[in-house]
Amino acid sequence: MEQVTNSPKLKLAIQKSGRLHEDSIKLLKECGIDISNGVNKLKADASNFPLEVYFLRDDDIPQYVEDAVADIGFVGENVVYEKKKKVDVVEKLGFGKCRLSIAIRKNETYSEASFLSGKRIATSYPVIVEHFLKEKGVSAEIHEISGSVEIAPGIGLADAICDLVSSGSTLFMNGLKEVETILQSQAVLIRNQSLTADKQQLLNRLLFRIQSVKKAKNNKYILLNAPNDKLDQIIGLLPGMKSPTVLPLADKGWSSVHSVLNENDFWNIIEQLKAAGAQGILVVPIEKMIV
């Protein structure tokens, strides 16, 4: 266990409730950082890492980081771009993925952004929408709404909306359809632009852990048995970190091959391995991956 001293602590702001909260806490736990926060507490200390965690409203996190009330924050990209605060995006965290999209009534036809010309658009993201319209050379009226944006067309408040979309089911239930994505978003780590050298060192240590967890999630550890006469062909299919580990089996003429596969290539390569003669393929999740 790391010794916690009176040296500086890194101050991290995360969402106190909502879609990013649980995944933020989960990521810290996967990084080996123990946070004990009671009900309704707005601040908690890590027991084994020089870290303080502040639980804040998602929309407020960029401001707190810019003002150095917090050194770093976990927040949605959509909020970073909407608030336009002076912070640096350091790392994409891989969770909270969604998209900010334009949606219109189901019975309407949308071919390009000019469809929005002269129309009323309801959104909680007026800055991003205004930038999108300006890029497209479209003049439209933006109505800023803090919540329940999807009901705006149904009650006559707007002709279209721009809102966060995950599955699209909420749009469907409100008689809308998604027609254009203007921003792909996920949780990111942001930092104050004037971190001290000590705080930056702590951030580097935290980033090392986060990146190790992310690499592990994107890869699988595989073990397989291969006939020696097909070994070169099978090894050629495995793009591991460096090269596969090959160990002789008690059964003469066979070897055990250990390697790592990227999640995106996994099924395609597994099929090729089987076709090349690999047997007894085992797939094991990786908890941490240090490269």
Tokens 């027991």 correspond to 47
Residue 120 pairs with which residues in a beta bridge? 141
Sorted by where each begins, the domain ranges of the chain are 10-95+186-216, 98-185, 219-285
At residue 123, φ and ψ (nearest 5 deg) are -165, 160
Second-level CATH architecture of 219-285: 2-Layer Sandwich (3.30)
Q: b/e map of 183-197 (b: 16 or more CB within 10 Å)? A: bebbbbbbbbeebee
pLDDT tens over the chain, length 291 residues: 444 456 789 999 999 988 899 999 999 999 999 987 656 678 999 989 999 999 999 999 999 999 999 999 999 999 999 999 999 999 999 999 999 999 999 999 999 999 999 999 999 999 999 999 999 999 999 999 988 899 999 999 999 999 999 888 889 999 999 999 999 999 999 999 999 999 999 999 999 999 999 988 888 889 999 999 999 999 888 875 567 889 999 889 999 999 888 888 888 888 999 999 999 999 888 887 777
At residue 99, φ and ψ (nearest 5 deg) are -140, 150
98-185: CATH superfamily:
Periplasmic binding protein-like II (3.40.190.10)
278 near 224, Cβ under 8 Å? yes
Q: What is the per-residue pLDDT for 41? A: 78
- Euclidean distance between CA atoms 190 and 64, whole angstroms: 11
Write down the pTM of the prediction: 0.82
Q: Which fold has domain 10-95+186-216?
A: D-Maltodextrin-Binding Protein; domain 2 (3.40.190)
Per CATH, 10-95+186-216 and 98-185 having the same topology is answered: yes
Burial of 4 from C-beta contacts in 10 A (0-12 / 13-18 / 19+): middle
Please tell me the number of Cα atoms within 13 Å of 54 on its side-chain side. 20
- Euclidean distance between CA atoms 103 and 106, whole angstroms: 9
